[in-house]
Amino acid sequence: MATIEECRAALTRLSDSMRHAEGDVRAAAAMDRSVSCHITDLDVTFVGRLTGGRIEVHDTLEGPTREKAQLRLAIKGDDLLALVDGELHFARAWASGRVRLEAGLRDLFHLRKLL
């Protein structure tokens, strides 16, 4: 089972790869939105902001967050690591229920370029 530190490091790697993206992916990553990533098996939530093409994690909370971020992801720690390392395809993981993504319709259209 992935640790909290490994999950935080995976989010940092994801942020770094988004920052260096080009084209449509770079445009999608340039959104300015509040974000949360609930690691379901660890029952912790990373909260922060997607801004300037990066994910800035501001806090780590126990359990799911009470305040709804504009972009919300729920995933097991091992699946997060596999997703960031390219071993798990987002669309297949989402379709099978391994990943849950919640956002407004407009944001989902932008995010599809990232995913």
What's the confidence (pLDDT) of residue 60?
96
Residues whose CB is less than 8 angstroms from the CB of residue 75 and which lie 6 or more positions away in sequence, other chains included: 37, 38, 39, 40, 83, 93, 98, 99, 100
Average pLDDT over residues 53-58: 90
Question: How many CB atoms lie under 10 A from the CB of residue 105?
Answer: 6
Question: What rounded mean pLDDT belongs to the chain?
Answer: 90
The burial class, CB within 10 Å (0-12 / 13-18 / 19+), for 109 is exposed
| Global confidence as pTM | 0.89
Q: Binning pLDDT at 50, 70 and 90, where does residue 114 land?
A: low
6-54 residue pLDDT tens: 999 999 998 888 777 777 666 666 789 999 999 999 999 999 999 988 8
Q: Express as a percent the part of the chain with pLDDT over 70.
A: 91
CA angle 59–61–63, rounded 5-degree value:
155
What's the confidence (pLDDT) of residue 115?
58
Average pLDDT over residues 85-101: 93
